[in-house]
Amino acid sequence: MARVQFYLVGLCLLLMAIMTVNGSTTLNKRGLQPVSPTGGSSSTRSPHFIEYMNEPASPSTCHGTTPCQIQLIIKDYQKSEVRSLDEVMKNFVKSGEPATYDSDLRDCREKAKTIKAKTRTIPLSVDEIAIIMCYTKAGLLHEAVNKALRSGDTEKLAPFAGYVNLLHLALKKLQFLKTTVYRGEEWNDPHEYARGDKFQWAAFTSATTSKDKINEFIKKNDGKVKKTEFIIEAINARDVDIYSAEPGEKEHLFLPGARFKVEQVEKKDNLHQIIHLTEIL
């Protein structure tokens, strides 16, 4: 009798464990509170750090800013019928966007004409060069585009859909490169990334092949700002240096939805950590 009771208790414990695992899996797949491989909650992660999960890309199954929502955002802006820089500017005016967007795009177009004239083998049109250039220019347009992409909200992205689609198409014309690139960020949570994490960046993401540029960024510190240095083994980065508003920075861009795996996390000190990433398909 005692042996039977022992087996029954063991069976109950096993069933409870299975139920707990299944419950966590369901929560994770819904994207409500992704759990990192180390067991810690990633609910406090930045909007552009999206834990990668296999979800069907349909509105009924997407919750918040999850990987499937990123795919819906991409599909949405790719439906845009805007095909020229003039149309982009007209749409900005219609939607009441700041006048600086228009003036910045016109300025970039004039500079793009010079670049195109000097290098006729460039595979991009003047408008495409201008669109890339304006994105690489620090300012309101760059910030607004990334904020809209990271929101996971198609309505917020709507005013920028034409611009974003043309930028996406222009970058796709450039040769993708397998190379090591670097990225620096100011970060409030030095324990955000854990080895084995797989995630996506929701917006266009800048990086550089210049280690010196990242070293400059890390050294510029008042002793209070925590900084993260990313070392990325890229397979799909696009070299935009000659089209950049800041040529010479060796800038590369990743397309929205680029996926990465955390290979290693190095905490150099309380203000500096290094995250080693591998881009994955």
Q: Is the dihedral of CA 209, 226, 278, 55 positive or negative?
A: negative
Please tell me the distance from the alpha carbon of residue 16 to that of residue 9, in angstroms, as a whole number. 11
Give the C-alpha separation, 122 to 105, whole Å: 20
CATH number at residue 221: 3.90.176.10
Domain check: are 162 and 192 in the same one?
Answer: no
**Mean pLDDT within 245-265:** 96
Q: What is the pLDDT of residues 102-158, one digit of tens each?
A: 999 999 999 999 999 998 789 999 999 999 999 999 889 999 999 999 998 999 999
Q: Are residues 73 and 165 in the same domain?
A: yes
Query: What pLDDT score does 58 carry?
Result: 43
Domain boundary among 127, 146, 173: 173
**Average model confidence (pLDDT) across the chain:** 80
Give the helix ranges, DSSP H, for 137-278: 140-151, 154-157, 161-172, 211-219
Q: Is residue 107 part of a domain?
A: yes
Asked if residue 229 and residue 211 are part of one domain, the reply reads: yes
Range of weakest confidence among 33-42, 143-152, 184-193, 232-241: 33-42
CB of 74 closer than 8 Å to CB of 66: no
Mean pLDDT within 28-49: 33
Co-location of 208 and 138 in the same domain: no
Mean pLDDT (whole number) for 71-86: 93
Q: Grade residue 65 by pLDDT with cuts at 50, 70 and 90.
A: low
Single-letter amino acid code for the residue at 29: K
The answer on 166 and 212 residing in a single domain is no
Inter-residue contact 198 to 261 (CB < 8 Å): yes
Clarify whether residues 146 and 204 are in a common domain: no
Same domain (yes/no): 133, 183: no
